[in-house]
Amino acid sequence: MGRRLVLMRHAKSDWSNAGLGDHERPLNGRGRRSTPAVAAELRARGFVPDAVASSDSQRTTETWLLLAAELGLDVEPRWSSDLYLAGPATILGAAATLPAEATCGLILGHNPGMSEAATLLAGLPMELRTADAALFEADGDAWPGAADRAAWRLVWLVRSRDLA
């Protein structure tokens, strides 16, 4: 059957309200505009998630809601404070614990951890800018463990700035 994995960084956030903490920052206009285009690209490439693990920050929450609306999904993410500013081990650990019945998982989070996790899986330097998504595939009927980086193949890198 195989597995598909999307590692995605949240869309562009709004820094205009200095009174908001980092965790509470919402998306800005560019972030709200770019996310539906990324969703359309995920659909076109066959990477529509049926399982999601996401940071519980405001900007990742908004990014997911925009993706889900564009893709017509009713998937409830596993919201996790552990994915807020997480390192690659935590991110890849979240991927390894996606539901067994899922075939396409999305991990939604922040840099530098998302870029570092994508770099580990791809085996080459990757920088995920806001709303960028790295698309990976693995063979087999189970989610590869976090330590099984060699199981994953980079299929595509969605650059949100190239879609606008």
pLDDT of residue 18: 87
Q: How far apart are CA 26 and CA 70, in angstroms?
A: 19
pLDDT of residue 101: 94
pLDDT of residue 164: 64
Tokens 């590692």 locate to 7
pLDDT of residue 37: 97
Instruction: Tell me which residue of 138, 127, 85, 141 sits closest to 108, measured CA to CA.
Output: 85
pLDDT of residue 160: 96
Task: Give one DSSP letter per residue of 19-54, joined into a string.
Answer: TS-GGG--B-HHHHHHHHHHHHHHHHTT---SEEEE
Domain ranges of the chain: 3-163
pLDDT of residue 148: 78
Q: Under DSSP, is residue 119 helix (H, G, I), strand (E, B) or coil?
A: helix
Tokens 């998630």 locate to 49
pLDDT of residue 11: 98
Instruction: Tell me which residue of 86, 35, 38 sits closest to 59, measured CA to CA.
Output: 35
pLDDT < 70: residue spans in the chain: 1, 145-147, 164
- CATH superfamily of this structure's domain 3-163: Phosphoglycerate mutase-like (3.40.50.1240)
Per-residue pLDDT tens for 120-152?
A: 999 999 999 999 999 999 998 888 765 578 889
